[in-house]
Structure 1
């Protein structure tokens, strides 16, 4: 066989495989039928790939009336169940699909489904990266505040990994500069139903409170109290160990064992707006009566071309700091950012 015929045969074979591998269909509320490949769905948005568009489609889950897919997908439901199977469109049933697994066929409403993952997704397709920055200037006393933050996350079939970092710096005439840096690494591992194992490490440095470094390692157990296509509410509990190093006239370095309580709320079915609130509490076992509470909340508005603007508020409370500093510290910032997913 000549080289030309071999190349032609390989090309036709690739086209044939491509043609029949992209037979997923999405039926929208306005009557359109899209043919391509279902990549994923989470937080109320379906990612759909087609041959006739350079960029993947992002379709609001509320705009979809039906799906069909002969490939094996991993499907999560509101009651915490996980299924492996294909999807059959039910033309006579509004907003319902038939889930076809190895053992059974069952009918689900689209509102029953909170997440879809394709086994064929590439690693890079599961990664989300966001970066944002802000700058404010005040003429009085020449106050300047700058902020920068970034986050990288990966969503696997059972694992969710993330890393984040943020820095806020403030300078002012005749006043020492103030710098605050925080970040961390974390993971969650899905187990039974809506339950998960969680863990990770975080750090905080704050010159305003003479805190050179506080590093915390934590592990615990979490549960989705509410999880649907509009919002989720999860709570968790566990154990933590913190190592604190304070500067000042007399340097202080101390470790302590603590309890861990986490509550996280995220609302994302509000058009281009999304709201997130995370409350973390650390009751100390080593210093009975001491409590640390961290509050992190943000309001984000999506802009074209994957840009966004965000308002953020972070508050840290320590009932009994190791040195003579304020019990409260907070940061309010506005920023503009970009997200790649």
Structure 2
């Protein structure tokens, strides 16, 4: 079985999980209460809070409504939520707002039957996610697709991306797949397929965490049939607020690279490497989101060799869960096999649909 077929099968597995997850989502009773700073009282179902935006659904509105979290004066819900504060601490519980005189800061209480109540100023609460006993109700994800055709040189580029995320109080996991196919008349098609599985667990109640990941890459441009990377390490959220998130990680990784037979590569297929990674996210209310991930792997078993990977995206909200996304991907190897490229990079534009 070729690596391309194996990666394609993994893509269909992830797609199947996306459809199962979306089919399993059922709305709960709309009994949550929001009171806005202008005095409006809203009865709704709170979906989540992220990037400074509170998402809620209403009986009389089709779809999900985006609400500026800073404009909310009071929130009440018996639903259990995973609540993440700006200092990195994470708790689970129902929501209630403390009585506050005058213009005192809004203070949110997180109530759990088996734990003491926790109180946070509203501005320090950066994420809310519904939690439930059902596995599928804890799942969120995205589906991206794009197609570009250029008549001048008869070039077609197709992009497909799928992601699923599972979040619990102390840990979260993700599985995903990205595929790019570019074909020009009279030239062999160029493909790039990448899939990954990763998990992260918080240490203590603050911003430290440890993480592990498995990534699989196929790059026709670099003559890579399959590159397997298994890595892990410790990291920290340097900043985590309603407008920005920045994390760093350091650890070790094992890589196995299978090149095309024609490359005549004399490079050792197995390598141990250091792992240094960072992730930056910037967002504005109901407008845009920017994400940049970068990692460098200095190969310990081949001094002087470094492999670098970059992924970034800039998203503009169209409506509700529908976004327009411009993405960039790239990976570089400063010592590739002779006659083969040491880089593969490109851009794409997609329409992205998210679900929670």
Note the alpha carbon deviations across 1:192-242, whole angstroms, 9 max, x for none: 211111111111111111111111011111110000111100111111101
Runs of 4+ residues deviating >6 angstroms: 102-106
Normalization by structure 2: what TM-score? 0.81
Q: TM-score by structure 1 length? A: 0.84
Residue 229 (1) aligns with residue 242 (2)? yes
**In structure 2, how many angstroms separate the alpha carbons of the residues matched to 1:197 and 1:338?**
29
Residue 212 of structure 2 is aligned to residue 199 of structure 1: yes
Distance in structure 2 (CA, Å) of the matches to 1:91 and 1:33 = 17
Residues 72-101 of structure 1: per-residue CA shift (max 9 Å, x gap): 654322122334555233342444115366
Find the counterpart in structure 2 of residue 4 from structure 1: none
| RMSD of equivalent CA atoms | 2.7
- Aligned to 1:186, the other structure's residue is in SS state strand
Partner residue, 1:150: 162
Contact 2:86 2:241 (C-alpha < 8 Å) held by counterparts:
yes
**What are the residue-to-residue correspondences of 1:8-157 with 2, within 5 Å?**
24-48=32-56, 55=63, 57-69=65-77, 73-84=81-92, 86-92=95-101, 93-99=103-109, 108-120=120-132, 122-157=134-169
Q: What secondary structure is seen at the aligned counterpart in 2 of 1:140?
A: coil
SS of aligned partner of 1:62: helix
Unaligned runs of 5+ in 2: 1-27
Q: 1:213 aligns with which of 226, 230, 245?
A: 226
Moved more, 54-63 or 306-315: 54-63
| 1:8 counterpart residue number | none
**Secondary structure of residue in 2 paired with 1:289:** coil
Contact 1:117/1:157, CA 8 A, preserved across alignment: no
Q: 1:340 to 1:248 in 2, by over 3 A?
A: same
Q: Distance in 2 between matches of 1:103 and 1:167?
A: 45
Where relative contact order (Cα < 8 A, 6+ residues apart) is larger, the structure is 2
Whole-Å separation in 2 of the counterparts to 1:72 and 1:284: 45
State how far apart, in whole Å, the 1-side matches of 2:353 and 2:80 are. Answer: 32
Counterpart check, 1:257 vs 2:272: yes
Cα distance per residue 1:227-269 (max 9 Å; x no partner): 0111100111111101001114255460100111111001122
Larger radius of gyration: 1
Cα distance in 1 between the residues matched to 2:201 and 2:86: 17
Q: 2:291 aligns with which of 268, 276, 279?
A: 276
Partner of 2:345: 330
Which deviates more, 203-212 or 60-69?
60-69
- Comparing 58-67 with 31-40, greater Cα deviation is found at 31-40
| Count of residues in Structure 1 that have an aligned counterpart in Structure 2 | 322
Give how far 1:179 is off. Answer: 1.2
Q: Distance in 2 between matches of 1:146 and 1:36?
A: 39
Equivalent in the alignment of 2:310: 295
CA gap 1:299/1:74 in 2 versus in 1, 3 angstroms: closer
Q: Which moved more, 1:206-215 or 1:28-37?
A: 28-37
* Runs of 5+ consecutive residues of structure 1 not aligned to the other structure: 1-18
The 1:244/1:31 distance shift into structure 2, 3 A limit, reads: same
Match of 1:311 among 326, 344, 347: 326
| Paired residues of 2:223 and 2:263 also in contact (CA < 8 A) | no
Counterpart CA distance in 2 for 1:118 and 1:205 is: 36
Which residue number in structure 1 is paired with residue 178 of structure 2? 166
- C-alpha distance in 2, partners of 1:271/1:134? 22
**Structure-2 change in CA distance of 1:149 and 1:76 (3 Å):** closer
Q: Secondary structure at the match of 1:125?
A: helix
